[in-house]
Amino acid sequence: MGRKLLDFYTDSFSGLSREVWILSISVLINRAGMMVLPFLAIYCTQSLGFSITDAGLVTGAYGAGSLCGALLGGELTDRIGYYRVMIWSLLAAGIGLMTLPLYTTFWPLCLAVFMTSTLGDAFRPATMAAIGTYSNEDNQTRSISLVRMALNLGIAIGPAVGGFFAAFAGYHWLFILDGMTCLFATVFVFFMLPKPTMETQGVENKLEASPAEKSVYKDHIYLIFLTVTAINIIGFMQILSTVPLFLKQELMMAETQIGLFFTINGLIVFLLEMPLVSLSQKKINPFHSMMIGAFLIGVGNLTLNLDLAWLPIIILYNITISIGEIINFPFGNSLSLQRASPAQRGKYMGLWSMMFSVTFIIAPVLGTFLVDRVGFQMTWYAMAGLSLLSLPGFLWVKQRWGQS
């Protein structure tokens, strides 16, 4: 039995291209330095003396920049290719992150966070478009999952290291170390990922879409799909804004413990994503997987209202929210790639990234607003309600997905 489980686990990694592994390692390096975002709201309230609402707006500025970066990255990927976008995005983000401690007042910090996020998040649609080039229909979802697995391993490392440095060396080290990992990832991609030729880059970066091809902005079923997905993800994204505040203010956890919380979350996704996605891909329709994932994300938010000690709460929350993420997010990515023509991969994945960025704006602003007005308990009920509300939306889209 143990041997069969091990074989199933290892088989879920088979058949993936060398380039996808290189992309995954670059994401791992980059995200191992993701120390700023989980602690941004705490940094603003604890070190800079901002209100909870202002801290939510700073985090929302990150989301606004992410939105612009996704649009910029998608357009540039179709024009100049994913390789150049990845290199310049990582380089600019590294420099931007290292300068953020210089801004200590509200509006300059919002602007600096916005610009850094804009430059850094152009990397995401470029990476997704590259996966489309280096994978096929049979292993595309697993290729996406491998990149996400690397991302979550990085997230498991980054916040734990960030929590240590925040507690013992000061918050400014989070920005410096995060910027350095971006620069290291730039060097890694430059030397390890083969520079694309016409064959590997794909003619999509040399040609415009044919006149008969519908624009992504007129693909109404896809736009509704993104909207439904965003409703669910707003509930999930509380993990990066209001949840750390809840852990700090309500459960009285130290920064090192909050870092450990994110490490547990990242490790669960790292260990379980590939086998769960591989199993789901064989047994379940992609939309049904997304519905199950959204349901679990909703349940995860409800666990924060349980009258338990802090350790059981974060274990239950981490398990449900992580498994929900695992069987929801990769299939949305894969469905988006499959729906795009080669000439429009950058635009489709740019819109997918923009959808995530919109949730980065809405989630912290809405979450901190609700916490300020009605408290944490009602906030978790509201966020669980959003994820559950997305279920009939996914079913509606599934029934119409084949339509143009």
Retrieve residue 324's tokens: 């929900």
pTM above 0.85, yes or no: no
Helix axes 123-134, 345-400, angle to 10 degrees: 80
DSSP assignment string, 372-398: HHHHHHHHHHHHHHHHHHHHHHHHHHH
Would the CA dihedral through 125, 128, 134, 138 be positive or negative? Answer: negative
Distance CA 24, CA 104 (A): 34
* pLDDT tens, position by position, 68-114: 887 888 788 878 888 999 999 999 989 998 998 888 899 999 999 99
Contact present, 246 and 376 (Cβ < 8 Å): yes
Contact present, 175 and 97 (Cβ < 8 Å): yes
Top pLDDT among 273 and 397 is at 397
Distance CA 60, CA 216 (A): 26
Instruction: Examine the pLDDT at 304 and tell me if it is beyond 60.
Output: yes
Contact present, 314 and 247 (Cβ < 8 Å): yes
Contact present, 121 and 353 (Cβ < 8 Å): yes
pLDDT-derived band of residue 354, with 50, 70 and 90 as boundaries?
confident
Report in angstroms the alpha-carbon separations of 227 from 89, 220, 230, 242, 293: 27, 11, 5, 22, 16
pLDDT-derived band of residue 284, with 50, 70 and 90 as boundaries?
confident
Q: How far is CA 58 from the centre of its chain?
A: 18
Among 128, 111, 67, which residue's Cα sits nearest to residue 357?
67
Task: Give the model's pLDDT for residue 395.
Answer: 93
- Report the C-alpha dihedral over residues 154, 159, 164, 166, rounded to 10 degrees: 130
Q: Which of 50-59, 92-101, 377-386 has the highest mean predicted lDDT (pLDDT)?
A: 377-386
The lowest-confidence range among 22-26, 70-74, 190-194, 314-318 is 70-74
Task: Give the model's pLDDT for residue 187.
Answer: 92
**Could you give the count of Cα atoms lying within 13 Å of 176 in the half-sphere of its Cβ?**
8
Complete domains list, the chain, with CATH: 19-192+215-400 (1.20.1250.20)
Report in angstroms the alpha-carbon separations of 256 from 33, 39, 112, 228: 16, 11, 27, 35
Q: Span 356-384, mean pLDDT?
A: 88
Distance CA 189, CA 358 (A): 28
Instruction: Examine the pLDDT at 297 and tell me if it is beyond 80.
Output: yes
* pLDDT tens, position by position, 132-175: 788 877 777 778 778 877 877 776 677 677 777 777 777 788 88
- The answer for residues whose C-beta is within 8 angstroms of residue 341's C-beta and 6 or more apart is 204, 209, 213
